[in-house]
């Protein structure tokens, strides 16, 4: 996103480590989260919540441990990634805690804090254990096998709110599709990195499109179609859209063939039309999107989407203030799919823009690491991970704000949902890892990059 030089070899900069910057940003992120937590209590009960110190200490400790892991095992990593993740996660906890006040029977903040802790633990584990992202390339086929299993398993479990994307074991439930995102990104990156020349330059030419040989393209298209098919079967339209976007972006970056985007868009349009017309669950979502106020006109009260739009409108430019909105009117998914509506109502357009900017920075930093890396796999992996975040934010934010049809997906870090938080922490850990490699001054790698066409 930050255009600096023309398409040329990576810059030979001796980058400083910037760990001090990261630490001060982390302190700021924790401070903002604690401030928000206190603001909710003050607005609701005229008192700072009694456990504000505990919340601050907990979030601070998580941030510190993550920071120490980065400081010792990825010292050259991008200093913005971790503070943004901590701030978004902290803000999400504040919003969930705030919504918990409205639903005394359904307390989610504590669970979310436990999942966040687990997420940070995974983050630390990835940063500590994974010394070089290129190792992952070796496990490409294992990744895709596990991903496919994870995707298929929920079919055998009952649907929750219309979508079969959960696995319930005992009291725990998690969404395997979330983890499959990372595994598929690893596989796509590895496969495309290995076969990109063959994809770009072999095979027959049809009109303006260079068709690669079926032997090269076949396996990846098959896997992709299979995943999307399974997701459609599970009625998880959001994730299938995400996989689709991820695949098209990576294919385009790997081959540089604009035609793939055209083909992708055509396929997507056709698929969306077919599914939107014939699958009742999806069809109703499309209807809602086209006319969010139909249920009001029919005398059945506002739909969730209409309630969400009401919430955003109530926020206006500066918002009602934390704890002072009525986003609970949105109903059962207020803490998960629709959590952005609470941000929109209580923080206003100003706060929402800030949140979008945090995501944009996270994505931009992912792309930046991709630009700075020398190996195609690392590049594709970081682009893939950053694109997952960007697409997910767009699909869910666009959905709850009436820009595109609604698809149930969690807002990264903000929304209630264990698998989602853990997955996003792993994504950030991988970005930390690739950015560390990208920014480490390494004469050999620079030399190697020079030889690359």
Partner 1 sequence: MIRYIRRAAGFCLLLLVALLANAARVQIFEADELNSNAANRRTTIDRYDRPRGNILVGGDPVTGSRDTGEQLAYERTYRHGPMYAPVTGYASQTYGTTLLENAEDGILSGTDPILAPLPLWGDVTRSRQPGGDVVTTIDASAQRAAYEGLDGRRGAVAALEPATGRILALVSSPSYDPEVLSGTGSSVTDAWVRLNGAPSQPLLNRALRETYPPGSTFKIVTAAAALDARVVTDPEAGTDTPSPYILPGTSTVLPDEARGCRKASLAEAIRVSCNTVMAHLGVEVGLEGMLETVGRFGFNDNDLKIPSRVARSNFDSEMTDDQLALSSIGQFDTAATPLQMAMVASAVANGGELMRPRLVDRVTTDDGDTVRQEGNESYHRAMNPTTAQQLQRMMVDVVENGTGTNGAVDGVTVGGKTGTAQHGVGNSGIPYAWFISWAQAPDSGRPAVAVAVVVEDASADRADVSGGGDAAPIARAVMEAALED
Q: How near is the Cβ of 422 to partner 1 at its closest, in Å?
A: 24
Among 186, 241, 314, 334, interactor with partner 1 by CB under 8 A = 314
Backbone angles phi, psi at 21, to 5 degrees: -60, -45
Q: Which stretch binds partner 1 (CB under 8 A): 18-26, 70-78, 348-356, 420-428?
A: 348-356
Please give the full DSSP string across 90-150, using - where no structure is assigned. HHHHHHHHHHHTT-TT---HHHHHHHHHHHHHHHHHHHHH-S-GGGGGGGHHHHHHHHHHH
Rule CB under 8 A: choose which of 36, 344, 412, 417 binds partner 1: 344
Q: By CB under 8 A, tell whether 174 contacts partner 1.
A: no
Of 150, 155, 22, 34, give the one whose Cα is nearest residue 419.
150
Q: Which of 36, 41, 212, 376 binds partner 1 (CB under 8 A)?
A: 376
Those residues whose C-beta lies under 8 Å from the C-beta of residue 212, and which sit 6 or more positions away, are 198, 199, 200, 202, 203
Q: Which of 77, 94, 146 is nearest to 428 (CA)?
A: 77
CA distance to 195, 201, 244, 256, 262, per residue, from 209 (Å): 17, 11, 20, 12, 10
User: Is residue 305 a contact residue for partner 1 (CB under 8 A)?
Assistant: no
**Which residues ranging from 390 to 429 are in contact with partner 1 (CB under 8 A)?**
390-391, 393-394, 397-398, 401-403
Residue in 189, 333, 352, 428 binding partner 1, rule: CB under 8 A: 352
Give Cα separations from 261 to 253, 264, 267, 297, 389 (angstroms): 10, 5, 10, 40, 19
Shortest Cβ distance from residue 294 to partner 1 (Å)? 11
Quick check: helix, strand or coil at residue 30? helix
**One symbol per residue from 264 to 303: x for binding partner 1 (CB under 8 A), - otherwise; what is it?**
-----------------------------x--x----xx-
Query: Which two structure tokens, joined as six digits, stand for 69?
Result: 């892991």
Dmax over CA atoms of the chain, in Å, equals: 71
431 binds partner 1 (CB under 8 A): no
Cβ–Cβ < 8 Å for 315, 344: yes
Chain positions 202 to 261 lying near partner 1, rule: CB under 8 A, are: 249, 252-254, 256
Q: Which of 349, 354, 445, 446 binds partner 1 (CB under 8 A)?
A: 349
Residues 6+ away with beta carbon under 8 Å from 437: 132, 133, 373, 378
Helices in 153-236 by DSSP H: which ranges? 176-201, 214-233
CB of 131 to partner 1, least distance (A): 24
Give how many residues touch partner 1 by CB under 8 A.
51
Stretch that binds partner 1, among 34-42, 77-85, 163-171, 305-313 (CB under 8 A): 305-313
Site for partner 1 in 321-340 (CB under 8 A): 326, 329
Site for partner 1, rule CB under 8 A: 1, 3, 7-8, 249, 252-254, 256, 293, 296, 301-302, 306, 309-310, 312-317, 326, 329, 344, 348-349, 352-353, 356, 359-360, 363-364, 367, 370-371, 376, 379, 383, 386-387, 390-391, 393-394, 397-398, 401-403
């Amino acid at each position: 996103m930050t255009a600096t030089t023309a398409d040329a070899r990576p810059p030979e900069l001796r980058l400083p480590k910037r760990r001090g910057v990261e630490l001060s940003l982390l302190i700021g992120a924790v401070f903002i989260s604690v401030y928000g937590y206190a603001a909710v209590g003050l607005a609701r009960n005229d008192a700072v919540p009694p456990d504000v110190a505990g919340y601050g200490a907990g979030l601070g400790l998580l941030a510190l441990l993550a920071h120490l892991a980065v400081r010792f095992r990825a010292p050259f990593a991008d200093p913005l990634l971790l503070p943004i993740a901590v701030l978004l996660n902290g803000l999400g906890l504040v919003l969930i805690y705030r919504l918990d006040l409205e639903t005394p029977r359904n307390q989610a903040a504590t669970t979310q804090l436990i999942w966040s802790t687990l997420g940070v633990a995974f983050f630390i584990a990835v940063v500590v254990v994974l010394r070089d992202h290129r190792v992952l390339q070796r496990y490409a086929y294992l990744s895709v096998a596990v991903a496919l299993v994870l995707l298929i398993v929920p079919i055998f479990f009952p649907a929750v709110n219309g979508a079969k994307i959960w696995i319930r074991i005992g009291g725990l439930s998690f969404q395997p599709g979330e983890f499959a995102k990372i595994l598929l990104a690893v596989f796509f990156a590895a496969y495309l990195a290995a076969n990109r020349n063959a994809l770009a330059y072999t095979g027959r030419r049809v009109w303006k499109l260079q068709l690669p040989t079926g032997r090269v393209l076949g396996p990846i298209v098959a896997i992709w179609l299979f995943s999307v098919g399974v997701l459609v079967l599970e009625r998880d339209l959001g994730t299938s859209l995400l996989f689709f976007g991820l695949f098209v972006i990576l294919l385009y970056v790997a081959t540089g063939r604009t035609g793939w985007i055209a083909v992708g868009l055509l396929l997507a349009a056709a698929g969306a039309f077919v599914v939107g017309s014939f699958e009742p669950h999806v069809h109703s979502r499309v209807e809602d999107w086209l006319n969010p106020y139909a249920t009001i006109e029919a005398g059945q009260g506002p739909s969730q989407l209409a309630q969400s739009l009401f919430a955003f409108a109530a926020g206006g430019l500066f918002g009602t203030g934390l704890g002072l909105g009525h986003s609970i009117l949105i109903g059962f998914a207020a803490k998960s799919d629709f959590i952005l509506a609470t941000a929109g109502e209580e923080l206003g357009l100003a706060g929402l823009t800030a949140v979008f900017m945090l995501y944009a920075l996270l994505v931009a930093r992912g792309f930046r690491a991709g630009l700075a890396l020398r190996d195609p796999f690392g590049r594709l992996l970081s682009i893939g991970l950053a694109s997952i975040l960007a697409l997910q934010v767009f699909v869910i934010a666009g959905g709850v704000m009436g820009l595109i049809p609604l698809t149930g997906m969690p807002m990264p870090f903000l929304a209630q949902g264990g698998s989602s938080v853990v997955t996003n922490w792993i994504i950030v850990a991988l970005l930390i890892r690739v950015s560390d490699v990208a920014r480490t001054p390494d004469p050999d790698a620079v030399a190697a990059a020079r030889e690359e066409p």
